[in-house]
Amino acid sequence: MLDINFIKNNTDLVKKAVEDKQLSKTISIDKLVETHDRYVELLKKVELHRSLRNKLSESISKVAAEDRSNLINEATSVKAELNTYERELTETKNTFDQLMLWVPSVPADDVPVGEDESGNKVVREEGSVKELAFKPKDHVDLGVSLDILDLERGAKIGGFRGYFLKNEGAQLEQALLRYASDLMLAEGYTMLSVPWIVKPEFFTGTGYFPWGEEDHYRLEDGKALIGTAEVSLTSYYADEILKESDLPVRLFGLSPCFRKEIGAYGKDTKGIFRLHQFSKVEQVVLTTANEEITREWHEKMLGHAENVLKGLNLPYRVLLMCTGDMGAGQVKKYDLETWFPSQSKYKETHSDSYFRDFQARRLNIKYRDSTGELKYVYTLNNTVAATPRLLAAVMENYQNEDGSITVPEVLRKYLNFDKILPKKKII
RNA sequence: GGAGGGAUCGCAUAGUGGCCUAGUGCGGCAGUCUUGAAAACUGCUAUGCCCGCAAGGGCAUCGUGGGUUCGACUCCCACUCCCUCCGCCA
C-alpha cells in the first residue's frame, strides 16, 4: 500500500509504475484519486453533522427533562441528514479502500523497464558449469532409477503435480533444509516454525491478495494455505510498534508451501520443479525506513542465498527482474537461477525482494524512531532453500556416469551415506 | 463438540445510558531537591483522519462489525480472539 498523499502528489510516477508493471487493466489511478476527493468531501459533511449532533446532545443533557422536546426534535432531524451522508461515506470509503489494495509500489530507479521475463537482466554468473563426459540424465530419470522419487504414485495419490520422495531422496531433502537452516542460524537469524493456515488479511497484508488470490488454496473457514512462509513471518509483528533498537528484525522459517499454480498450465509439467506442495526455508528482514539500509539488506540477503548455492557448489546466475516480471508490491527483485545440466539451462530457485513500506502499511508494522516519530518499517524477503526444486538441481549436478548421485560435501554430516546407488529392486 | 468466564490507555485495574473530555496504580519522560543516585514532590504521557501557513479547531477509536437512542465503554445482535472445565485427540 502506498500513502494516498504520496499518490496524489506523484500521480505521474504512480501511473508509470502501473504501466511498467503491466497492471493498467487492474487499477485506474484517476478513479482512485477521484474517489478519494469524493471521500474527503463527504467526510467534511459528516464530521460537521456529527459535531452538531454532539453539541445538541450535550445541550439536552443539561436541560430539565420536560424542556427537552424541541432540542430532541432538532437533533432527530440532524441525525436523519447525518445518516444519509454516513451511508454514502461508508460506501465511498469501501470503494476507496478496495482500490487502494490494487495500487502497486513504485519500482526502484535501477529496475529495468520491461514487459515480461525477456526484460530481465543477467547481473552475473557464478560457479563453473562442468563439462560432463556423458549425457546427463534429468532428475526424473535419476530419481526413478535410484528409487528416490515416485511420480506415478505421486499422481495416483496427490493428482497432477503430486510426488513422493523416497529413500535417500526424502532424506536428502531433509538434509538440504537442515543445511539451509543452519546457515541462517549461523547468520544470527531467529528461527520460527510458522502457521501454515493463515487468515486472509495477512495475504492481503503481504501483497499476495488481491493479485494472487487464485493461486491459493482456500479453506472452508475462509483461511488459506500459505504459498510461502513469508506471509506468516512478515505478518509476525502486524499491528505492533517496534523499538528502533530492535531493528533490523531478522527471521527465518521453514514451512511447506501450497500453490495452485493456476496460470501455469503446461509449464514445467515434468519432474519436481513446479509443484502444488513443497518445502522452503525463507528469510524475512524488517529494517528502519531507510532506502540505503534496505538496499544493503537486499544485497546481504542475496548473499545468504548465494552462500547456500556456493556451499553446494552449484553453478547459478543472478538476475535483476524487470518491472513486468516482478510482483505488484515489490520495489526491486533479484532471482537466482541454478544450473540444470539436463536442460543446459539456469532455472529459478530463489527470489529476493524488497518492498519499502508497502507491506508494513498493509500490515500496520511501525517503529518509533529516535525523534519519537512513528514510521512504517521496511520489509524484505528471500528464499534460502526451496525443495524439491533445489533437490532436483542437486540430483542433476551431482550425478555420475554410472547413474549414481554423490552427496554434496556439506550435506554429509546430516546423512549416513555419501552416495546414492541404483537399487537392485525397485517396487 | 458441550458448559461457563472474559477482551478498557505501554502494563494492571475501575467504570451498568449524559457527571467519561475514560478514573486510579505501575511503568516511561521532564523538572524541583541532591556532590551523584535513590526517595519524595510537581507536570506530562495514545493513534488515525479532516480543516488551517500557523496558532488552533473538529471527527473517530474502550476486541471487530452492525443495531437501538437526541446521546453508548455502558443496552441488543453477529463475529473474532483469550481463559477455565468436560469430551475427543497427534
Domain boundaries, chain A: 4-100, 117-420
A11: CB within 7 A of chain B nucleic strand: no
Give dist(CA A256, CA A229) in Å, integer: 8
A75: CB within 7 A of chain B nucleic strand: yes
Nucleotide nearest to A41 (CA to C1'): B50
Q: In terms of DSSP bridges, do strands A405-406 and A374-376 run parallel, antiparallel, or are they unpaired? A: unpaired
pLDDT at A265 over 80: no
Provide ipTM, 2 decimals: 0.89
Fold of A4-100: Helix Hairpins (1.10.287)
A242: CB within 7 A of chain B nucleic strand: no
Note the pTM of the prediction, 2 decimals: 0.94
Give dist(CA A331, CA A10) in Å, integer: 16
Active site residue A389: yes
pLDDT at A220 over 90: no
Each residue of A376-408: pLDDT tens digit? 999 999 999 999 999 999 999 999 999 999 999
Each residue of A341-373: pLDDT tens digit? 999 999 999 999 999 999 999 999 999 887 788
Superfamily of domain A117-420: Bira Bifunctional Protein; Domain 2 (3.30.930.10)
User: How many angstroms is C1' of B13 away from CA of A160?
Assistant: 58
**Contact criterion met (CB below 8 Å) for A219 and A189:** no
Active site residue A295: no
User: How many angstroms is C1' of B75 away from CA of A305?
Assistant: 58
pLDDT at A145: 95
User: How many angstroms is C1' of B12 away from CA of A201?
Assistant: 31
Closest CA to A360 of A289, A417, A413, A307: A289
| Strand B, nucleotides covered by protein (CB < 7 Å) | 18, 47-51, 58-60, 66, 70-71
Other residues' Cβ atoms within 10 Å of the Cβ of residue A310: 15
Give dist(CA A266, CA A17) in Å, integer: 30
Q: In this structure, what C-alpha cell is assigned to residue A185?
A: 542460524
Buried b (16+ CB within 10 A) or exposed e, A14-40: bbbbbebbbbeeebebeebbebbebbe
Closest CA to A350 of A380, A309, A315: A309
Active site residue A274: yes
- Which residue is catalytic, options A161, A295, A362, A389? A389
A117-420 matches A4-100 in CATH topology: no
pLDDT at A62: 85
- State the pLDDT confidence band at A221, using cuts at 50, 70 and 90: confident
- State the pLDDT confidence band at A172, using cuts at 50, 70 and 90: very high
**Contact criterion met (CB below 8 Å) for A422 and A403:** yes
Residue A150 φ then ψ, to 5° = -130, 100
A64: CB within 7 A of chain B nucleic strand: no
pLDDT at A368: 86
Nucleotide nearest to A94 (CA to C1'): B65
Weakest-pLDDT range from A28-37, A163-172, A362-371: A362-371
Nucleotide nearest to A47 (CA to C1'): B59
pLDDT (mean) for A70-81: 91
Could you tell me which residues of A are annotated as the binding site for ATP? Answer: 259-261, 348-351
- Which residue is catalytic, options A161, A235, A250, A259? A259
A375: CB within 7 A of chain B nucleic strand: no
Buried b (16+ CB within 10 A) or exposed e, A354-379: bbbbbbbbbbebbbeeeeeeebbbbb
Residues in chain A: 427
Average of per-residue pLDDT values in chain A: 95
Could you tell me which residues of A are annotated as the binding site? Answer: 228-230, 259-261, 282, 348-351, 381, 383
User: How many angstroms is C1' of B31 away from CA of A375?
Assistant: 29
User: How many angstroms is C1' of B31 away from CA of A364?
Assistant: 35
User: How many angstroms is C1' of B56 away from CA of A35?
Assistant: 29
Weakest-pLDDT range from A105-109, A128-132, A409-413: A128-132
- Which residue is catalytic, options A105, A351, A361, A396? A351
Closest CA to A121 of A110, A131, A132: A110
